[in-house]
Amino acid sequence: MSESSEHASPHKFDRRTLLTAGIAGAAALAGGPALYHWANPRGQVFVARNQRYDGSLVQTIQDGILATGMQPKALFGKRVLLKPNLVEPQRDRPQMTTHPAMIVAAAEVFRRWGASVSVGEAPGHVRDTEVALIESGVGEALLDGGVDFADLNYQQSAWRPNRGRRSKLRGFWLPESVAEADLVVSMPKMKTHHWVGVTCSMKNFYGVLPGIKYGWPKNVLHHNGIPETVADINASVPKSMAIVDGIECMEGDGPILGTAKQMGLVLIGPRLASVDATAARIMGLDPQKITYLQLATRNMGPLDDSMIDQRGENWQELVSPFQVLDKPHLQRLRIDRVGPEVS
Amino acid sequence: MNSIAAKLEKLVPGGYMPGSAPMTEPTAWGALALHTAGRQQAAAQAAAWLCDAQHYNGMVPATADGDAPGWTTSLATLAWREINAELYSEQLDRGIHWLLESKGKPNPQSEHVGHDTTLVGWSWAANTHSWLEPTAFATMALVAAGENQHPRTREAVRLMVDRLLPGGGANYGNTRILDQTLLPHLQPSSIVMWALAAQGSDDPRVERTLEYIEHELHRPTGCASMAYAIIALTAWNRRPADADKRILDAYNRLGTQDNCYKLSLLLLASNEQPLFAAQSLAARATSAGIA
């Protein structure tokens, strides 16, 4: 893989972009994110290429956050919860889970800005969370980095109403680390998913719900519809943003058994549906056909590319179609036409 | 192991993490562990907490807020029966009644799913599909209650064997999805084999699962997974020779963490004899007249 983008491909944003984005971010975090997003229909997504786990991820993440609208001052003294994807870690399948280097780098960025940072996860298939931390390497990395870990599967929970209302669930039990966070950062791995096509920042929020209430797997959600509950959870968690590990990705039979696909990307954005829509396009899949993205509320960001302000790299130059299983419900998700959008 | 017991004595009723509020599973394992260690007063205190947590319908919910799910009812009944079945007879009756009323949600058989989705078993939460750990715990509770021949128990045994992976081991309870065989995990594999020790099976996946557990014990793993593995192998008369060393190493790794859940499991795993008389291979051999 080539050197990191700080050297090979400078991020493409200027002072005016940063200023505009900074004002927007300050307004969003200051207390009216839902109102702000409702009034502002556009999304912002930053994409960095040529990224490596041993590269300058701190700089990349910092640049991306600034470029998409967050102002460091707004984070001072805030509680930031990083939510990686540790669904079912296996040490010989690192493409399944968020890389520890991404998590530690993100923690460093938010700490520099004065935030109180912790990492939290409720692994969906592994009841022994300690195993998930060992197999993924995240436990050791957090220990080295002095970052606290919150086991969301077993924390005390608070009831919050379902603000999405796409499913029949009236509300959700949210672990205290989630319910009390000022900002929850979805840090998924960019992967295919054998039921819903793509799993990225929105689907990753299945892992904020506690297994002690929802089970292993979180079958309560499955029985109420995966797309519907993905949209509902995203509508119901506190303010969120996404930092996507798109460096070593997974294609084929994701989210567990797929094969590794090297992409070298980091995607960042304040509105998760727009981030996932961009990720899907890069994967050669049509976000408009992915049901949970269709169900995402307006606050989560637009899917239409013309409504998304792209920062950093142009996603069109990064498209590399991901293999999906040869099943009708997945093949139909492919982008129909190959034209200017898909190089 | 006295130091584990002494530490645990101060932590029950307790939670999954240091300083967290008491919950049913850690408290039930804590009660059992202290009972086996001869610390009856602390065991009784934990058992009383479980009584207070029990709903009128018999369910003992997993969380202290009283909201479902109730898969932990099995664990409470195991604790009460071992500590003093006579004293807790009313709670036991209601608990077993709730378990027999509680059912996993069967699904129509699908070409995309490898296991037999029509078997009922027990689920983590109401109105959802059955999975391995709650089914294993409920089976153990029913066997301990003398209900080994109950149709629900027999079906649960079929379910657990059906959910074992072809090469041995089990995950949370899926075997094959969209033509791909899934990955095994140590904790559910061990809990299922603990429950099956009293049942036995000629299915070759059972032996493969025991071998998988023995193999996995040589890799770094979590405290709970390791404890369940040792408990399961002990129930099958295959206790690892270095079990005590592994337990002490895990205890030392916990350091100053006052973790009720993990300490309870470590103390249970320190028992060199199978934990419940009715749950062991020896019990099966005795009942078959071949001891």
Write the CATH number for A127: 3.40.50
Across the range A273-283, mean pLDDT stands at 98
Mean per-residue pLDDT of chain A: 90
Q: Print the domain residue range for A66.
A: 44-332
**Distance of alpha carbon B92 from the chain centroid:** 17
**Under an 8 A CB cutoff, do A215 and B65 touch?**
no
Chain A, nearest residue to B191 by Cα: A127
Q: Which residues on B lie below 8 Å from A327 (Cβ)?
A: 178
Predicted model pTM: 0.92
Residue A98 falls within a domain, yes or no?
Answer: yes
Which residues does residue A310 pair with via DSSP β-bridges, in sequence order? A45
Report pLDDT for B6.
96
Residue type, A31: G
Residue A3 falls within a domain, yes or no?
Answer: no
Chain A interface, mutation test: which of B122, B128, B217, most A Cβ atoms within 10 Å? B128
Report pLDDT for A5.
37
Report pLDDT for A33.
54
Q: What is the CATH number of the domain that holds B257?
A: 1.50.10.20
Across the range A35-51, mean pLDDT stands at 83
The total domain count for chain B is 1
Report pLDDT for B233.
97
Residue B272 vs residue A31, higher pLDDT? B272
Q: What is the DSSP letter of A203?
A: G
User: Which of A11-20, A29-38, A311-320 ranks highest by mean pLDDT?
Assistant: A311-320
**Under an 8 A CB cutoff, do A212 and B128 touch?**
no
Residue B51 falls within a domain, yes or no?
Answer: yes
Which of A198, A211, A158 minimizes the C-alpha distance to A279?
A198
Nearest Cβ partner for B178 among A156, A213, A253: A253
Tokens of A88: 């079912």
The answer to whether residue A282 scores a pLDDT higher than 70 is: yes
B210-259 tens-digit pLDDT = 999 999 999 999 999 999 999 999 999 999 999 999 999 999 999 888 99
| Number of Cβ pairs < 8 A linking chain A and chain B | 100
The span from the CA of A50 to the CA of A55, in Å, is: 9
Residue A225 falls within a domain, yes or no?
Answer: yes
**Under an 8 A CB cutoff, do A131 and B187 touch?**
yes
Across the range A131-160, mean pLDDT stands at 96
Which of B168, B171, B167, B166 minimizes the C-alpha distance to B184?
B171
Tokens 């930031």 belong to A80
The answer to whether residue A17 scores a pLDDT higher than 80 is: no
Q: Give the count of beta carbons closer than 10 Å to the beta carbon of residue A55.
A: 22
Chain A, nearest residue to B132 by Cα: A216
The answer to whether residue A10 scores a pLDDT higher than 60 is: no
The answer to whether residue A38 scores a pLDDT higher than 90 is: no
Which residues does residue A249 pair with via DSSP β-bridges, in sequence order? A261
The answer to whether residue A13 scores a pLDDT higher than 60 is: no
Mean pLDDT, chain B cut into blocks of 10 residues (291 residues total): 93 94 97 97 98 97 87 98 97 98 95 95 97 98 95 98 98 94 97 93 96 96 98 96 96 91 98 78 59 33
Report pLDDT for B278.
62
Q: What is the DSSP letter of A306?
A: G
Report pLDDT for A9.
42
Report pLDDT for B283.
65
The alpha-carbon gap from A250 to the nearest alpha carbon of chain B, in Å, equals 16
Residue type, B130: S
**Under an 8 A CB cutoff, do A257 and B128 touch?**
no
Report pLDDT for A35.
55
Report yes or no: A129 and A119 within 8 Å, Cβ to Cβ: no
Which of A21, A14, A11, A13 minimizes the C-alpha distance to A71?
A21
A287-341 tens-digit pLDDT = 999 999 999 988 899 999 999 999 999 999 999 999 999 999 999 999 975 444 4
ipTM: 0.95
Helix H or strand E segment including A265: strand A259-269
The total domain count for chain A is 1
Which of B6, B53, B18, B47 minimizes the C-alpha distance to B262?
B18
**Under an 8 A CB cutoff, do B222 and A131 touch?**
yes
Q: What is B98-114 written as a DSSP string? A: HHHH---------TTB-
Residue B174 falls within a domain, yes or no?
Answer: no
Nearest Cβ partner for B222 among A128, A212, A220: A128
Nearest Cβ partner for B63 among A213, A222, A257: A213
Helix H or strand E segment including A117: strand A116-121
Tokens of B203: 């299915």
Report pLDDT for B279.
63
Residue B126 falls within a domain, yes or no?
Answer: yes
Q: Which residues of B touch A (CB under 8 A)?
A: 15-17, 20-21, 23, 62-63, 65, 67, 69, 105, 123-125, 127-129, 131, 133, 171-172, 177-178, 180, 182-183, 185-188, 220-225
Q: Print the domain residue range for B131.
A: 1-167+182-201+225-270
Chain B, nearest residue to A151 by Cα: B17
Which residues does residue A150 pair with via DSSP β-bridges, in sequence order? A120
Nearest Cβ partner for A212 among B62, B133, B182: B62
A171-205 tens-digit pLDDT = 999 999 999 999 999 999 999 999 999 999 999 99
Residue A279 falls within a domain, yes or no?
Answer: yes
Residue B257 falls within a domain, yes or no?
Answer: yes
Residue B177 falls within a domain, yes or no?
Answer: no
The alpha-carbon gap from B133 to the nearest alpha carbon of chain A, in Å, equals 9
A76-106 tens-digit pLDDT = 999 999 999 999 999 999 999 999 999 999 9
Residue A199 falls within a domain, yes or no?
Answer: yes
Residue B213 falls within a domain, yes or no?
Answer: no
Report yes or no: B233 and B213 within 8 Å, Cβ to Cβ: yes
